[in-house]
Amino acid sequence: MNMFNKKDSSTETEAPRPAPESPARRETSAGSRAVIGSSIHVDGTLRGNEDLVIEGKVNGTVELKKNSVTIGAQGEVNADVYAHTIFVDGTMEGNLVAAERIVIRKSAKIRGSITAPRVSLEDGARFNGTIDMDPESEVLSKAFSRQADKQRPTPPTPTANGSGKAETKAAGSSAA
């Protein structure tokens, strides 16, 4: 006999509570996310198809052109970063290039160039460099043109046909 009217714990299960989201996660796109922890040091080129949070040290190049990159408060990046969206809380030296926007928070320390159609720079952030917000800038078109080229069909190329007239033939096909 149960004197305290407790319910049997085997018949009830409490739903697990989701872990609280970090501010960096709330602002990134939905989907998977990779984290470079504070004890990790990476030298080289990082590429991928998921959002990335950097809390460690990265030297080289970061290319996540369809995703967001967050340089956390402990993050130290000495690299060129290419992403859809970039958030900076930590230390950054190099070029930041984003297809959509770059958010520089008040705790950030940046030395380098920023190129994006939209840039937000919070009061208190330390920044030494240049900002280019032209959506048609040469840097943006070079950095993100490969994505657009892969989605477009190959245009036909003109070829000579012996009669001196140019005729159009799809690239990759052979003449009979």
Confidence of residue 32 (pLDDT cuts 50, 70, 90): confident
Residue 145 pLDDT: 83
Residues across the chain: 176
Confidence of residue 175 (pLDDT cuts 50, 70, 90): very low
Which pTM was predicted? 0.66
**Exposed e or buried b per residue across 52-71, where buried means at least 16 C-beta atoms within 10 angstroms of its C-beta:** bbbbbbbeeebbbbebbbbb
Are 167 and 121 in contact by the 8 Å Cβ rule? The answer is: no
Structure tokens that stand for 129 in this block: 């460099």
Are 134 and 113 in contact by the 8 Å Cβ rule? The answer is: no
pLDDT at position 153 over 50:
no
Are 88 and 72 in contact by the 8 Å Cβ rule? The answer is: no
Angstrom distance (rounded) from CA 64 to CA 143? 11
Task: Decide the pairing of beta strands 157-160 and 96-104.
Answer: unpaired
The model's pLDDT over 80-138, given as tens digits with 9 standing for 90+, comes to 999 999 999 999 999 999 999 999 999 999 999 999 999 999 999 999 999 999 988 89
Phi first, then psi, for residue 47 (nearest 5°) are: -130, 150
Structure tokens that stand for 112 in this block: 């380098």
Give Cα 14 to chain centroid, integer Å.
Answer: 37
Task: Decide the pairing of beta strands 57-71 and 41-47.
Answer: parallel
The CA-to-CA distance between both ends of the chain, in Å, stands at 93
CA-nearest of 103, 108, 102, 104 to 140 is 102
